[in-house]
Amino acid sequence: MEHDDIKRRFRTLPAEVQLLVLATFGHNLTIAARDTYEFQAPGVRAPQRLRDTNEIQHRLFGHILALASVDRERYPDDDLISIVLDFGDEHMRGQSVWGLDDALKRSAS
């Protein structure tokens, strides 16, 4: 249900607002990725989650580029949302939902 609401909210936005939402979501993912680092150490405690975050960002920023250049070969809106919200472990999916929901809320203001 939550995913359907996010998909509906996203697809109703004009392209320029979608760009803002996706860029904000990408920024939020960098915050979520910090959770994978060892506390005050140079190591990574959750390497698979860090890789999953990177993969989501790769797909996300590819979509941003396609949307910004009006490339018709981009993902349909619902597919993009499914791709970024249904990837990785349960914790990663929760972080993705938080990040995108926060970005949508910020774009509404």
% of the chain at pLDDT higher than 90: 81
Q: Which residue has the higher pLDDT, 88 or 12?
A: 12
Provide CB contacts within 8 A for 10, sequence distance 6+.
Answer: 18, 21, 77, 81, 100, 104
Q: How many domains does the chain have?
A: 1
Burial of 25 (0-12, 13-18, 19+ CB in 10 A): buried
Looking at the predicted structure, is the pLDDT value of residue 43 above 60? yes
Q: Which pLDDT belongs to residue 1? A: 47
Among candidates 56, 63, 52, 50, which has minimal Cα distance to 15? 63
Average pLDDT of the chain to the nearest whole number: 92
Q: Which pLDDT belongs to residue 72? A: 81
Domain of residue 102 covers 2-107
Q: Which pLDDT belongs to residue 109? A: 65
Mean pLDDT of the region 44-72:
93
pTM across the whole model: 0.91
The tens digit of pLDDT for each residue in 78-94 reads: 999 999 999 888 999 99
Q: Which residue has the higher pLDDT, 71 or 95?
A: 95
